[in-house]
Structure 1
């Protein structure tokens, strides 16, 4: 089988916002406790942060991390996480039916972000609380001093403000499962007034309003229209979420799900443009895809805790999907979609970063390791920065539940002018045969392959574990070459590849 791709220097999508490769940490399961924070762990630093996890996170060059939730934030009192630890209350978390000790709050998370080399993306509670708590949290974080909340921050050990610029106005407020769930008009009005108050403090803030929790919601996409009509002039991004499932073990349908993702993005982008036109606005609003990942492996094992059968445990194992090689292909396709839609998707957050549906896993008092999906996320974050190319793809395809004529080769391309490189991320969705790919490089002078990474495995169900951390990993490829302005490579059946060309 053969495929042909045309990459032209002048045919581009957009400059990619680095924040497209962000992540998410929620007070859920073991994401925080025994994930990033475990005092007494052999690698823990003086603040209790696991050094082995920090090393793996730093390698990803994560630009921004969303915190503290997620469903958790909709009943969270941010004040519980400040002041002396011994004075902090233990609360019952209604979202995940667990107990929260509040050992980690905004000060600790800010310290962890500094150690990890990332920026904070904070969410305010618009479920059980509202405008007043949001403006107080903002003042606590960002005001230099001389006010009640900023002086309290200084007394709690942090004199300089954190100056957090990116804020989420609640989480999944369209969901009936959400504490404080509201209809679109209720939420839109509250979000608009909260945004106005926050902008009265600082006009340079970037604010994210809640869009649909997923594209199968009965209120989608009317939710986006109503909410944006209330908030368009005071927000910068609308939040979307999507999780990818394959409980039927149908690989062909599973690997076509990014076509559903693409329609989701296109529909919301069109809704943004409709509201912009209706309001005769000059403002641009973009998409923050701040929760995405594969999530279905752990559903059955989580039910006992989520249904309350285990009481209110502290940091139990929840949503601990163990990812396989098939999930590598899916995550590669998702990231390719975000790169191709980087004109409208400016922020992305893989959900989540450690232990909870995450690329990094840990054992209590034990090791940390890379899950299979760590690698496509790593390659995109490190090498997917620059300008997304508008590629022309000619490739055989197949019909699926989600779309017809789904191309067997899913590909994105990034031109980094500063480095003088082209990077292509390719997934072969075909499990029966290899595909020979030729990429015509139009308008690019010369070129030499400088890096070629291949991920493939004989078993789609293959996983990485604490005992076998290298079972699924990338290996150096061979045979990719540039000649006469054409990049040629062979993609094995069911494979992920990254090919970098020095121009």
Structure 2
């Protein structure tokens, strides 16, 4: 009863067991997929993508007719605030490049599995013992990293037709959005970004146009084979809109990357919203502010009631914040 099967992991890299060329991998993948789907035609197969057009094209050409997903991995982050949050749009560029390859080959049934993404740049310490080698991956996540995660959610909402699987790497302790020590637990800003989007947005993505000032930036990336990126027209304000059919709630997500409070004009013309709404907010006092075992709740979700909502309204966004505003369409919120 296992539905999803990833055939290999990052085999394009010499650090992986089974490292090989794209052509060799594609042939192995073809054999695995044919045999496995011969046993159970209902399974879904995820091919190893390399975020490299040559590799990805070779795999898609050879096995695209058999597979269901192709993967892509992205790790980012740096000490610079804008360098971290802008990397959201580098990820979007790479996802769109892979989407373009799929469309070029007319493999509309193949979707993208964004099956490793996170902030990872500070910690990769090793402890060597007589009989074992342990790699420690305890990344300390700050507010800027939570805003990166929120931005990734907005990107995935925009690309929901193609990016149909996504997995944070990882959940607990090893690059985890949850940290534990004994019977203690710390929820990081990345966890709270998940809380914000999982529990306060809907399952149906709506079109939303955003007008925002933009900036240009050059920064670093963790991605193998590339150590920098340059972007233009990076927005200071981004977001998405979704609908929860079960609760009849319109959710408008707005991320303010400015390091200042801003007011945004929201145009909901044609939508009959109630006068009352709830604004959920993830923010903090500094880009590098974080939760730890001594102060586990420095950063957490807050909420406030908006009592004068209308189809055309102004919303205040706190400095460096991710927000979801839930509008009831039947007055039951």
TM, length-normalised to structure 1: 0.60
1:373 counterpart residue number: 190
Within the candidate set 52, 57, 67, 1:235 is matched to 67
- 1:339 aligns with 157
1:288 and 2:116 matched: no
| Displacement of 1:254 | 1.9
Structure 1: stretches of 5+ with no match in the other structure:
1-162
- Picking from 319, 327, 333, the partner of 1:493 is 319
- Answer yes or no: is 1:206 the counterpart of 2:44: yes
| Structure 2 spans left out of the alignment, 5+ residues | 219-229
Instruction: Give the match for residue 82 of structure 1.
Output: none
Separation (CA, whole Å) in 1 of partners of 2:303 and 2:135: 35
Please give the secondary structure, in 2, of the residue aligned with 1:460. coil
* Cα deviation code 1:118-152 (max 9, x no counterpart): xxxxxxxxxxxxxxxxxxxxxxxxxxxxxxxxxxx
Between Structure 1 and Structure 2, the one with more strand by share is: 2
- Superposition CA RMSD, Å: 1.8
Alignment of 1:48-67 (within 5 A): none
Pick from 302, 310, 313: which aligns with 2:129? 310
Q: 1:181 aligns with which of 15, 19, 30?
A: 19
1:457 aligns with 2:303: no
Residues 209, 235 of structure 1: 8 Å contact kept: yes
- Contact 1:481-1:488 within 8 A present in 2 as well: no
- Within the candidate set 217, 221, 225, 2:53 is matched to 221
Q: How does 1:241-252 map to 2 (within 5 A)?
A: 241-246=73-78, 249-252=79-82
Tell me which of 296, 299, 302 is aligned to 1:475: 302
* CA distance in 1 between partners of 2:236 and 2:301 (Å): 21
Q: Distance in 2 between matches of 1:455 and 1:339?
A: 19
Verify: 1:417 aligned to 2:245, yes or no.
Answer: yes
Residues 481 and 489 in structure 1, CA contact (< 8 A), matched pair in contact too: no
Contact 1:480 1:490 in 2 (8 A): no
More relative contact order in 1 or in 2 (CA 8 Å, sep 6+)?
Answer: 1
**Change in CA separation of 1:180 and 1:244 when aligned onto 2, cut-off 3 Å:** same
Structure with higher helix content:
1
1:262 aligns with 2:92: yes
Q: 1:313 to 1:176 in 2, by over 3 A?
A: closer
Shift of 1:383: 2.9
Q: CA deviation at 1:366?
A: 2.5
Question: SS at the partner of 2:146?
Answer: helix
Give the 5 Å matches for 1:7-406. 163-212=1-50, 215=51, 220-246=52-78, 249-276=79-106, 284-299=109-124, 302=125, 304-305=126-127, 309-313=128-132, 318-363=136-181, 365-401=182-218, 402-406=230-234
The count of corresponding residues between Structure 1 and Structure 2 is: 318
Conserved in 2, the CA contact under 8 Å of 1:450 and 1:502? yes
Q: Secondary structure at the match of 1:265?
A: helix
Distance between the aligned counterparts of 2:11 and 2:60, measured in 1? 14
Q: 1:368 to 1:394 in 2, by over 3 A?
A: same
- Aligned partner of residue 314 in structure 2, secondary structure: strand
Instruction: Pick the aligned partner of 1:426 from 254, 270, 289.
Output: 254
Distance 2:308 2:179 in 1: 36
Question: Larger radius of gyration, structure 1 or 2?
Answer: 1
Could you say what secondary structure the match of 1:444 adopts? coil
Q: Distance in 1 between matches of 2:242 and 2:131?
A: 47
Q: CA deviation at 1:449?
A: 4.3
Q: Quote the Cα distance in structure 2 between the aligned partners of 1:238 and 1:251.
A: 31
Partner SS for 2:189: coil
Separation of aligned partners in 1, 2:167 and 2:275? 33
In 1, Cα distance between equivalents of 2:298 and 2:257: 21
Shift of 1:354: 0.5
Query: What is the deviation of 1:428?
Result: 1.1
Contact 1:298 1:320 in 2 (8 A): yes
| 1:441 and 2:258 aligned | no
- The secondary structure found in structure 2 opposite 1:373 is helix
- With over 3 angstroms needed to count, the CA separation of the structure-2 counterparts of 1:437 and 1:194, relative to structure 1, is same
Q: Specify whether residues 488 and 223 from structure 1 end up closer, same or farther in structure 2 by C-alpha distance, changes over 3 A only.
A: same
SS of corresponding position for 1:233 = coil
